[in-house]
Amino acid sequence: MPNHVIVLAAGQGKRMMSDLPKVAHMAAGRTMIGWVLEAVRPLQPTSTVVVVGHGAEQVVSHLPAGVVPALQEEQLGTGHATRVGLDALDDVGPEDTIMVLYGDMPLLTHDLLERLADRSDEVAARMVTSVFEDPSGYGRVIRDGGGLVVEVVEERDCDDAQRAIGEINAGAYAFRAKDLIDALGGVSNENAQGEYYLTDVIGILVGRGERLQPVETTPEEVIGINSQDQLTEARQLLQARTNQRLMASGVWMLDPDRTYVDETVTVQAGARIYPGVHLEGNTTVAAGAQVGPDVFAVDSSIGAGATVWYAVLRGAVVGEGCEVGPYASLRPGTVLEKGAKVGTFVETKNTTLGEGAKAPHLSYLGDATVGSRSNIGAGSITCNYDGYEKHQTVIGDDVFIGSDTMLVAPLTIGDNAVTGAGSAITDDVEEGALAIERSEQVAIPGYSQRRAERQAAKKTED
């Protein structure tokens, strides 16, 4: 196993055309650097250093505990960056293995890194290569007549014959420490980009008679992300991996190509996911839940057997057997206890619906507690904000809130109480009472007929 890992992540990523440092871009639930470090983690290296530069603070904020950042003040090339990383390592023995990885390779897998780390052949260096149909943008791997790797030439420094080579340098290496340190000293910046290339170390070592072992793999594992379209390609491949893993574990998906589940999300076997579902952050879906079509859920939990469709959930807890949607918005602090229902065009925020409570249509419930089995009639809302402060509405168990009730908070409604449709309720309602607030209805007989006659008379006048 490698003793040390250096991840290069100081570049700006100009070709991304984005203010965000390149390795801080997200794909399928993790930043690029996050994916690389996830692939590294099971190797349990003694030390892991990430070389940061552009947007250093932002990149550092994504680093897990135990990973050490090293600042490369000026981005003078991958060779220079590796030297900055080496300086940040403690206690490097000459025979130690130092793995160097580029931070823009989110598709790296742990299996590939295990193969790379295997130093049983005692070579000075191992490097990952792959044959690409379209190798443009990558450094080409040059082999001699006997098939041995002799050097890596950057595309901009290639002649026509070299440019036609399909085998590329992936940007993942395992070096014997003393060889890396020695060879880096010999790297110059005399090339098309005026940079110190780490790739020159390969040619230098071969020139000294050292043997170099290529580790070949598929393009899907080593795509380097330099542009937004490559980021999208990587996202699709990462998403496909996550979806495959979930389906293999017993999750049902109608259309994995249109199912967007972050790596950080937990979905239990037996859950059913329809197309157009985005599950992000710390979201969990329990067995037997049906999610989608068209659900966006972040940092939310969906309980066993719940149904959630055409809905947005942010920081919401949906209990066992609940129904949500179609067309519901559950904002942070929403808790639906077992069997509760939030139906069509209902918005909730900082609100708990007790067991079996229902708000089936056209409601806003903010800063409220609704007791078990209570029903919120269509069009009823909490008036929780007086323009200055938010106030609480507390509704007891088995309450019937009539349609179009304005619940003016702060307000407490006792168990078993009823409110009449169309009421603006401003005072607390005691247990079991009916509260009704409307003006008396007036009926004027024969009105319609008289109105018609008036209209007809007016017409003949004109």
Name which of 170 and 285 has its Cβ closer to ligand UD1.
170
Catalytic residues: 361
Name which of 51 and 425 has its Cβ closer to ligand UD1.
51
The pattern of x and - marking residues 94 through 123 that bind ligand UD1 according to CB under 6 A reads --------xxx-------------------
Among positions 29, 34, 135, 224, the unique one binding Ca ion when judged by CB under 5 A = 224
By CB under 5 A, tell whether 195 contacts Ca ion.
no
Name which of 75 and 226 has its Cβ closer to Ca ion.
226
Alpha helices in 213-357 (DSSP H): 228-248
By CB under 6 A, tell whether 214 contacts ligand UD1.
no
By CB under 6 A, tell whether 70 contacts ligand UD1.
no
By CB under 6 A, tell whether 76 contacts ligand UD1.
yes
Q: How far is the CB of 105 from ligand UD1 (least distance, A)?
A: 7
| 131-170 residues near ligand UD1, rule: CB under 6 A | 138-139, 152, 154, 168-170
By CB under 6 A, tell whether 226 contacts ligand UD1.
yes
Among positions 96, 104, 195, 323, the unique one binding Ca ion when judged by CB under 5 A = 104
Q: How far is the CB of 173 from ligand UD1 (least distance, A)?
A: 10
Q: 190 to each of 200, 237, 302, how far by Cα in Å? A: 11, 37, 58
Name which of 74 and 121 has its Cβ closer to ligand UD1.
74
Q: Which two tokens stand for residue 360?
A: 């089936």
Residue 402 interacts with, from ligand UD1, Ca ion, none (CB under 5-8 Å by kind): none
By CB under 6 A, tell whether 266 contacts ligand UD1.
no
By CB under 6 A, tell whether 297 contacts ligand UD1.
no
Give SS3 for 398.
Answer: coil
Of 399, 405, 392, which is closest to residue 438 (Cα–Cα)?
405
By CB under 6 A, tell whether 8 contacts ligand UD1.
yes
Dihedral angle computed from the Cα positions of residues 218, 224, 230 and 234, in that order, rounded to the nearest 10 degrees: 60
User: Can you list the pairs that 230-238 forms with residues at least 24 positions away whose Cβ atoms lie under 8 Å?
Assistant: 231/16, 231/25, 231/27, 234/27, 234/32, 234/106, 234/107, 235/27, 235/28, 237/107, 238/27, 238/28, 238/35, 238/106, 238/107, 238/263
Q: How far is the CB of 36 from Ca ion (least distance, A)?
A: 12
Residue 285 interacts with, from ligand UD1, Ca ion, none (CB under 5-8 Å by kind): none
- The partner residues of 141 in beta bridges, in order of sequence, read 152
Residue 11 interacts with, from Ca ion, ligand UD1, none (CB under 5-8 Å by kind): ligand UD1
Of 314, 300, 51, 327, which is closest to residue 196 (Cα–Cα)?
51
Region near Ca ion per CB under 5 A, out of 60-68, 104-112, 215-223, 419-427 = 104-112
Residue 100 interacts with, from ligand UD1, Ca ion, none (CB under 5-8 Å by kind): none
Binding residues for ligand UD1, rule CB under 6 A, total 29
Q: How far is the CB of 76 from ligand UD1 (least distance, A)?
A: 5
Q: What is the DSSP string of 43-77?
A: G--SEEEEEEBTBHHHHHHTPPTTEEEEE-SS---
Interhelix angle 177-185/200-207, nearest 10 degrees: 100
- The partner residues of 290 in beta bridges, in order of sequence, read 272, 307
Q: How far is the CB of 51 from ligand UD1 (least distance, A)?
A: 5
Residues 6+ apart with CB under 8 A from 54: 10, 11, 12, 13, 21, 22, 75
Cα–Cα distance for residue pair 38/21, rounded to 1 Å: 19
Among positions 34, 106, 224, 377, the unique one binding ligand UD1 when judged by CB under 6 A = 224
**Phi and psi (nearest 5°) for 78?**
-65, -30
Give SS3 for 33.
Answer: helix
Give SS3 for 320.
Answer: coil
By CB under 5 A, tell whether 135 contacts Ca ion.
no
CB-based burial of residue 272 (10 Å sphere; 0-12 exposed, 13-18 middle, 19+ buried)?
Answer: middle
Please give the residue ranges that form the binding site for ligand UD1 (CB under 6 A).
8-11, 23, 51, 72, 75-78, 80-81, 102-104, 138-139, 152, 154, 168-171, 197-199, 224, 226
